[in-house]
Structure 1
Amino acid sequence: MPDETTLRRLLARLDRDALAAALLGDEPLPANLEKKEGPGPAVAVDGKTSRGARRPDGTRVHLLGAATHEGGLLVGQVEVDQKSNETSAFQPLLAGLDLAGVTVTFDAMHTVRANLDWLVTEKNAHYVAVVKRNQPTLYAQLAGLPWADIPVADTCRDHGHGRDETRVLKAATAGFLAFPHATQAVRITRWRRPKGKKPSRETVYAITDQPARTASPAALAAHARRHWTIENKVHYVRDVSFGEDASTLRTANSPANLATIRSAVINRLRRTGYRFIPHGRRDHTTPTAALDLHGFP
């Protein structure tokens, strides 16, 4: 076995993008993971800050990842440069993925014209983009639609995590939106009633390039709901099962590379059939079992 010092130096010097491509790039394409009768293949893009890790200059390490809606497999990850933000890392993250026919979901930070146009024209992909007040003109257009006159297209009720939640979706064809390829406007209203607390209401607006004939209200609702798979099945698991936020690494590429390795282990366990990652980790505590898990002879 290599000495611990050797491993530390290796993790610090390895190119973080090359390691992510090597360990995460062999995952099945999103189109092979989704059921044909479902809402269609989709990938969620979301960022995660490693709260304990620091760069040499003291700034926190922030990673932007892409995960499949079905299965929660991380298929790509890049580190966001300390002098920029997630928006500038959006295209480098997705550039190497075959996204033809795949719907990409993301939060309002990435709802910018350049990214949406690039997805449709260069990657032949689709998008469901959340719109907030950082795009004031578009937000005002969506909020000003006559939603009271538009019928409810989809309703979903859930109970779990100590709360009741109801989600109501309305969709309208809106060809006048001043954003690339946008054809439908979406409004999702969420009512939450946490146990022992006052109920709350939240309204979220979104746009998509897919017309109503190819993206039904039920499919749009599913994409919006499944977007959080990356948070629940990737980010949360890395924190709780692998203690990522407790890591205080500071040396060069070590924080990003260890995050990639954690995600590669999670991916392999999920593809092996483990529903709960802690169970999979307990079944692979010896070097031999760990090598077998990853297909090494």
Structure 2
Amino acid sequence: MHLLGLAEHGGGLLDQVEVGAKRNETGHFRPLLQGKDLTGVVVTFDALHTVRSNLDWLVDNKKAHYVAVVKRNQPLLHARLAGLPWSRVATGHIIRESGHGRDETRSLKTVSCDQLDFPHAQQAVKIIRWRRDQTTGRVCRETVYAVTSLATTAATPADLARLAREHWHIEAHHHIRDVSFGEDGSTSRTSHGPVNLATLRAAVIAAIRRAGYLHVPESRRDHTTPAEAIRLHHLD
């Protein structure tokens, strides 16, 4: 059982749909968003959904914008982005952070470009992520390309860096559901069981965040009794 979810940046799960297998996700992109008011909203998604027809529909029909990650499943577009003269482009935004046992630096460059032969593309984006493990000293460097329908007048490099980071937080939500709540190991496979359980897990995580917790394992240790849970969520 595979679920495709829709979530707010910095918020909770809005909707989800059963898709059978991950390869079927792109066919559910429009149905999942169809009934939502997306006027002026920026939509982010996995590279799997960087599909011309879906993004054309998103901008023309839903009046939304997108930030679309481009990987090698779009080989021609990926090659065009990688071949842009990035060495002559100044870094538009850079941030350095430490936490969770690693040091991380993320730099972002943008190029205003309307010749990518991709629907409504206004800017090309290059993100370089550099990570160093504080224990082993191992260094990892990753380059990510993206395109966006947001023009330079609508989104600065700092805005695009924030949107990319917020999308990563949504990815982390799925990681929490698996690691802390064992979602991938769940034996519920039939009828509406998987969807209902996923909804409950998402609701629990949202409640934990509202209670002020940054780390889910810590919050689970504090929820030892029903009375304690009621007190933590100010329901007494």
Do residues 164 (structure 1) and 103 (structure 2) align?
yes
Shift in Å, 1:277? 4.7
Distance across 2 between alignment mates of 1:237 and 1:200 = 23
Distance 1:152 1:209, change over 3 A: same
Do residues 103 (structure 1) and 42 (structure 2) align?
yes
Distance 1:162 1:174, change over 3 A: same
1:229 to 155, 169, 183: 169
Secondary structure in 2 aligned to 1:228?
helix
Instruction: Note if contact 1:274-1:280 (Cα within 8 Å) is conserved in structure 2.
Output: no
AA at the equivalent of 1:170: K
Secondary structure in 2 aligned to 1:167?
strand
TM-score normalised to the size of structure 1?
Answer: 0.70
Per-residue CA distance 1:82-135 (angstroms, 9 max, x = gap): 495211121222222222111111121110101111111111111100111111
275-284 or 202-211, larger mean C-alpha shift: 275-284
TM-score normalised to the size of structure 2?
Answer: 0.87
AA at the equivalent of 1:124: K
Q: How many residues align?
A: 232
AA at the equivalent of 1:66: L
| 1:237-276 aligned within 5 A | 237-271=176-210, 275-276=214-215
2:24 to 85, 93, 104: 85
Shift in Å, 1:227? 0.7
| 1:109-124 aligned within 5 A | 109-124=48-63
AA at the equivalent of 2:156: S
AA at the equivalent of 1:176: Q
Distance 1:161 1:283, change over 3 A: closer
Distance 1:106 1:235, change over 3 A: same
Instruction: Note if contact 2:188-2:194 (Cα within 8 Å) is conserved in structure 1.
Output: yes
Instruction: Note if contact 2:3-2:20 (Cα within 8 Å) is conserved in structure 1.
Output: no
The residue aligned with 1:63 is 3
Secondary structure in 2 aligned to 1:246?
coil
| 1:22-61 aligned within 5 A | 61=1
| Greater relative CO (CA pairs within 8 A, separation 6+) | 1
Distance across 2 between alignment mates of 1:83 and 1:164 = 32
Per-residue CA distance 1:253-275 (angstroms, 9 max, x = gap): 21222112221333344446555
Distance 1:94 1:273, change over 3 A: farther
Distance across 2 between alignment mates of 1:83 and 1:177 = 28
Distance 1:135 1:271, change over 3 A: same
The residue aligned with 2:115 is 176
Per-residue CA distance 1:163-202 (angstroms, 9 max, x = gap): 1111111101101011110010001111111131431211
The residue aligned with 2:155 is 215
Q: Which runs of 5+ in 1 are unaligned?
A: 1-60
Q: Which runs of 5+ in 2 are unaligned?
A: none
AA at the equivalent of 1:265: V
What fraction of aligned residue pairs are identical, expressed as a percent? 58
Distance 1:79 1:285, change over 3 A: farther
Instruction: Note if contact 1:150-1:170 (Cα within 8 Å) is conserved in structure 2.
Output: yes
Distance 1:68 1:284, change over 3 A: farther
Shift in Å, 1:240? 3.6
The residue aligned with 1:147 is 86
